Chain A
Amino acid sequence: KQEVTQIPAALSVPEGENLVLNCSFTDSAIYNLQWFRQDPGKGLTSLLLIQSSQREQTSGRLNASLDKSSGRSTLYIAASQPGDSATYLCAVNSYGQNFVFGPGTRLSVLP
């Protein structure tokens, strides 16, 4: 059974800092991995989707990498801003459409 963990559980950084969020999964036979952002009391917003055949995806200040063999993905946020404050979740698609979510990393970017 796929298990997904995220480290750290919470992170507080000053504005402008570059940061890395980590996602680990136990079963490397995945189809894809998706990173989401969730603001308090809101739904999930898709940030990046990485297919199993890809190593990384980029969108603006965000860069996500995938290493299937080691069961890891990282989300890199460059030049963080207070508006980046949210909870970031990764979701792993292991068998067809059965997504398993990590517990999330709560990010606070201080002005």
Chain B
Amino acid sequence: DAGVIQSPRHEVTEMGQEVTLRCKPISGHDYLFWYRQTMMRGLELLIYFNNNVPIDDSGMPEDRFSAKMPNASFSTLKIQPSEPRDSAVYFCASSGDREVGYEQYFGPGTRLTVT
């Protein structure tokens, strides 16, 4: 398997623009996670899905953030409108179920810069 795939790898946008980050999980994994990493706050869980259904979105900062998983092989994280404080590295991760201990595998991340 190619592992977790994220696109784009880098995104530079102006404040107020819409940003869409994309993720393809490992085939067969039931869980998908979106994280954000900053120097100040470390790695934070934003939202996770189980079988395409959002389970916990309590980490989503505010209504400007939304995430969808229309099928088992694709998820998006959207920020609208973007703000400079959204600048961070956004990671997508996926994991299997209880049988494999829910071990998480991370994608390479998307480095977002909002000017």
Do they bind each other?
Answer: yes
Interface stretch of the complex, out of A19-27, A71-79, A91-99: A91-99
B43 touches A43 (CB 8 A): no
Q: Which residues on the A side are within 8 Å of B101 (C-beta)?
A: 32, 49, 51
Residues of B within 8 A of A49 (CB): 101, 103
Total A-B pairs in contact (CB under 8 Å)? 51
Do most interface residues of chain A lie in helix, strand or loop, or is the interface mixed?
strand
Stretch at the interface among B66-74, B75-83, B105-113: B105-113
Shortest Cβ gap from B85 to chain A (Å): 20
Q: How far is the CA of A98 from the CA of B59 in the complex (A)?
A: 10
Q: Please indicate the chain B residues that have their CB under 8 angstroms from the CB of A91 in the complex.
A: 104
Q: B109 near A97 (CB under 8 angstroms)?
A: no
Flag if B48 contacts A104 (CB, 8 Å): no
Residue of A32, A99, A104 touching B45 (CB-CB under 8 A)? A99
Asked if B55 is an interface residue, CB under 8 A from chain A, the answer is yes
Task: Please name all residues of chain A whose beta carbon is closer than 8 Å to the beta carbon of B93 when the two chains form the complex.
Answer: 44
Given contacts A99-B104, A101-B44, 9 further A-B contacts (CB under 8 A): A43-B91, A43-B106, A46-B106, A49-B101, A91-B104, A97-B48, A98-B56, A101-B42, A101-B43
Residues in B lying within 8 Å of A, measured CB to CB: 4, 31, 33, 42-45, 48, 50, 55-56, 91, 93, 95, 101-109
